[in-house]
Amino acid sequence: MLQISPSTSAGFFHFLFKLVHNIYKFVIGKPGEFWIVGVIATIIGFCTSPLYPILNKFIPRKWLFIGGQVCMSLAYLIFIFTRSNVLMMDFGLVLFNINFAQLVTVLTLTDAIEYGQLKSGQRNEAVVLAVRPMIDKLTGAISNGLVGYIAIAAGMTGSATAADMTGHDIRTFDSMAFYIPLALAVLSIFVFLFKVKLSEEVHAEVVEELKDKLAQGELTSEATTSSTGLKEETIYAPTDGELVAMKEVVDRDGQPFPGKGFAIKPTSDKLYAPFDGKINFTFGTRHAFGITSDKGLEMIIHIGVGTVNMRGEGFNAHYNDGQIVKKGQLLFDFDRELIRQSGYEDWVITFFAQPHNIKATSGFTPGKLIKHGDKVVTVEFK
């Protein structure tokens, strides 16, 4: 799963740090007061990333992105027009570092994994997850190149001091370090506002549609294997509770939950592997994952009804995608109380990802109270 860390915005911090250093040394001639820049950048930089998930509970990420870009734009204006006031410069530095642009970009790309799976039937997580370190390295490289170029173009090199700067040097520095980035920051607001459509709500709809298609067997999977004969697999209870027939499960839109399988009204907040197998994938919303048995039976385990809207809050996985797991191995903790407080059902729904391959089931008893690891149903499939 994607982790949020302060390094996600390292490029921004490095770019600003160098530019403000040049302002203090070459423009306002107060290099001795520059130390505060490092303190502010470090404090704010390490606060913004942990603050993001808290704010995102109440504010959509599109508006967090826009708010951050507005703060950045105001910071540029402060650097341009009030640079002689050190306190205002420090305030501008705070505003500049309140920025979630890279976080939002990476998280939006991560949400695109499910969109790609919906459209193509394949998940390309490796490509998307590789984007994160690439962005970090790319922004660092670009910031180094830009700062060096700006310093040379404005004559801010070697033994030069503020007294050596001409009006032309200052205008060159302002244009390249502030006016152009300011214009790009404003442009990014309009691009993100009108062109980026994959919001949290849209992603939830994509995930629900993907779930429906998987349950109805409309999507193939990389884990699918061809077989000419029938195989048999025993499915064991992934959690404690009461067995419920699939036809009794109602989806969030009031319609029957699609597909073949069964549900459990849980009395436990822990979920275990229903057989020996391999974890195929986990939805970005962390409320559902795919698992394939050693014999090739593909299943989706879906925690809750409507829990896609919780955006992963209250779900804690104990595995990595692609991991080999054994029957009865702990896979998830989920907060049943939080699910119910959020207005959703906490049922654990287990359904087949390739229902057309299911030929017969036996041994299932609706209403039966079971413990995790108890036998639920035997499946014949091809």
The answer to whether the beta carbons of residues 363 and 350 sit under 8 Å apart is: no
Sign of the dihedral through C-alpha 178, 184, 188, 189? positive
pLDDT tens string 232-268: 999 999 999 999 999 898 887 777 888 899 999 999 9
Does the domain at residues 6-198 carry the CATH identifier 3.30.1380?
no
pLDDT tens string 322-375: 999 999 999 999 999 999 999 999 999 999 998 999 999 999 999 999 999 999
The residues carrying an active-site annotation are: 302
The answer to whether the beta carbons of residues 290 and 279 sit under 8 Å apart is: yes
pLDDT tens string 133-160: 776 677 767 777 777 788 788 888 777 7
The answer to whether the beta carbons of residues 370 and 243 sit under 8 Å apart is: yes
Does the domain at residues 223-381 carry the CATH identifier 2.70.70.10?
yes
Average pLDDT, the chain: 84
Alpha helices in the chain (DSSP H): 10-22, 35-56, 61-81, 86-97, 101-120, 125-153, 167-174, 180-195, 200-215, 336-341
Which two three-digit tokens encode residue 280?
Answer: 């195929």
Domain residues of the chain, as ranges?
Answer: 6-198, 223-381
